[in-house]
């Protein structure tokens, strides 16, 4: 096993790209979707089941794990991969986004963020230096810079100030990360929806130099049209030969539109969280399994889907166990949604490799009835 991290761009079709990220813990086929494993578990899923959906990599949340069970305890127990029994690559976020949305009594300064745990009120500090140390203790393969993600809407000067703070933090993250063969540090582009600020951020990050680059600060309420407008220029401002990771996205059509515009990696809680709330994604659109009209329906969710929910159960059964709040409901619907998301990624990888992305995209949109089906 070579102790190196590399990205090979294999084919492009318009702005869409397909390739492979090679890490000591295995390869990540791109475009890639990362299931979210917040508290060292993809909720309602065994790791073996997550692997069976086709996921090559998953995401861990620094904010949650530093509070409980703590990064030091996970390190003592052999690191996050051993702890959660996932031996493929893991990307951890820096905690910067979640500390601003989940913690209490926060104080943000040039140094970083002091905050109180939402679990027990204990005091903590997140900074470029502490975030790098926490992610090192977790043992993640891809580490994210510690940055600030401003809530939109915000005026341009606020967005500019926030982006420039994040660039100073990117520099400190790089310095604190140190020399770690086989591991990667990704920079995060900020700058809101402003093309000039995004360009300044991309330039600053490239001056520092990273193994991959994220487009941050989106999917924060701007809406799909504004997000796509930003993605029409932001990925192209980043190095062509490094992975481009769009954070926190998204619905199936968001994912397709992002890949179309040059994004290689994404993560989102949607497929797993929705699975627990009865929202099921299919190639014909969204099914709300709670709806009474499924109570006697003997058909599978999708008779072309390879997942256990579609192979072995009827909509009537899935309706019943959801209504009865049985644990198998969250398991089966999460398993289905993650499988569907991975099948979208596989479809796009194959289409880009064959130069038929536009036709694949047209077919993807044609199949989706409006609303419930
Ligand atoms: C669900 N939307 C969403 N937007 C995100 C942005 C960031 C970011 O800019 N981090 N530096 C992280 C996670 C996100 N999740």
Buried b (16+ CB within 10 A) or exposed e, 335-356: bbbbbbbbbbbebbbebbeeee
Residue whose CA is closest, atom 14 of ligand 1? 248
**Which pLDDT does position 371 carry in this prediction?**
57
Residue whose CA is closest, atom 15 of ligand 1? 248
Structure ipTM over 0.95, yes or no: yes
- Alpha-carbon distance of 37 to 59, in angstroms, equals 6
The residues that are catalytic are 93, 267
Please tell me the distance between residue 144's alpha carbon and the centre of ligand 1 in angstroms.
11
> Predicted confidence band at 96 (pLDDT cuts at 50, 70, 90)?
very high
What's the whole-number mean pLDDT along residues 48-63? 98
**Which pLDDT does position 152 carry in this prediction?**
78
- Percent over 70 (pLDDT), the chain: 99
What's the whole-number mean pLDDT along residues 166-185? 98
- CB of 191 closer than 6 angstroms to any ligand 1 atom: no
Residue whose CA is closest, atom 1 of ligand 1? 248
Other beta carbons within 10 Å of 246: 28
Over residues 124-144, the pLDDT tens digits come to 999 999 999 999 999 999 999
**What tokens does 270 get?**
């949607």
**Which pLDDT does position 153 carry in this prediction?**
85
**Total-model pTM:** 0.98
Please tell me the distance between residue 150's alpha carbon and the centre of ligand 1 in angstroms.
10
**Which pLDDT does position 140 carry in this prediction?**
98
SS3 of 154-174: the string is CCHHHHHHHHHHHHHHHHHHH
Q: How far is residue 234 from each of residues 62, 115, 186, 219, 291, measured CA to CA in Å?
A: 26, 32, 16, 14, 40
Residue whose CA is closest, atom 8 of ligand 1? 216
| CB distance 135 to 169 below 8 Å | no
Please tell me the distance between residue 247's alpha carbon and the centre of ligand 1 in angstroms.
5
Q: How far is residue 77 from each of residues 112, 123, 177, 190, measured CA to CA in Å?
A: 28, 24, 22, 35
**What tokens does 67 get?**
């509070």
Fill in the DSSP letter of residue 372.
B
User: Does residue 1 have a pLDDT over 80?
Assistant: no
- Percent over 90 (pLDDT), the chain: 95
- CB of 95 closer than 6 angstroms to any ligand 1 atom: no
Task: Output 6 or 369, whichever has higher pLDDT.
Answer: 6
Over residues 180-189, the pLDDT tens digits come to 999 999 999 9
Please tell me the distance between residue 328's alpha carbon and the centre of ligand 1 in angstroms.
30
Across 98-112, 132-146, 155-169, 250-264, least confident range: 98-112
Strands 32-34 and 58-60, by their bridges, are unpaired
**Which pLDDT does position 368 carry in this prediction?**
83
* DSSP assignments along 241-268, one per residue: TS-EEETT--SHHHHHHHHHTT--EEE-
What's the whole-number mean pLDDT along residues 261-287? 98
**Which pLDDT does position 370 carry in this prediction?**
60
Considering the chain, what is the average pLDDT of its residues?
Answer: 97
């Amino acid at each position: 096993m070579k102790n190196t991290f590399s990205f090979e761009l294999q084919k492009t079709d318009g702005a869409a790209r397909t390739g492979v990220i090679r890490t000591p813990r295995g390869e990540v086929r791109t475009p890639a979707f990362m299931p979210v494993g917040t508290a060292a578990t993809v909720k309602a899923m065994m790791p073996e089941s997550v692997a069976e959906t086709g996921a090559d990599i998953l995401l861990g949340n620094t904010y949650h794990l530093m509070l409980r069970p703590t990064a030091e305890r996970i390190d003592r127990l052999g690191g996050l991969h051993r702890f959660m029994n996932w031996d493929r690559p893991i990307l951890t976020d820096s905690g910067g986004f979640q500390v601003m949305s989940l913690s209490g009594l926060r104080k943000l300064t040039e140094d970083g963020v002091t905050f109180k745990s939402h679990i027990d009120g204990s005091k903590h500090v997140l900074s470029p230096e502490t975030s790098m140390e926490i992610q090192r203790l977790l043992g993640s393969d891809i580490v994210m810079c510690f940055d600030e993600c401003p809530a939109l809407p915000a005026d341009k000067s606020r967005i500019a100030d926030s982006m420039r703070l994040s660039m100073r933090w990117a520099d400190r993250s790089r310095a604190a990360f140190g020399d770690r063969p086989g591991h990667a540090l990704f920079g995060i582009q900020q700058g809101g929806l402003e093309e000039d600020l995004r360009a300044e951020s991309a330039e600053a990050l490239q001056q520092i130099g990273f193994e991959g680059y994220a487009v941050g600060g989106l999917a924060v309420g701007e809406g799909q049209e504004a997000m796509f407008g930003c993605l029409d220029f932001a990925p192209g401002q980043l190095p062509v030969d490094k992975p481009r990771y769009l954070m926190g996205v998204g619905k199936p059509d968001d994912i397709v539109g992002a890949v179309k515009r040059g994004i290689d990696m994404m993560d989102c809680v949607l497929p797993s969280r929705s699975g627990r709330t009865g929202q099921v994604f299919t190639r014909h659109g969204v099914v709300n399994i709670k709806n009474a009209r499924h109570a006697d329906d003997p058909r599978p969710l999708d008779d072309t889907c390879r997942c256990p929910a579609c192979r072995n159960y009827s909509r009537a059964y899935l309706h019943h166990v959801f209504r009865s709040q049985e644990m198998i409901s969250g398991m089966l619907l999460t398993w289905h949604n993650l499988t569907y998301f991975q099948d979208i990624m596989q479809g796009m990888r194959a289409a880009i490799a064959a130069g038929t992305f536009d036709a694949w995209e047209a077919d993807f949109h044609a199949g989706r009835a409006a609303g419930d089906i």
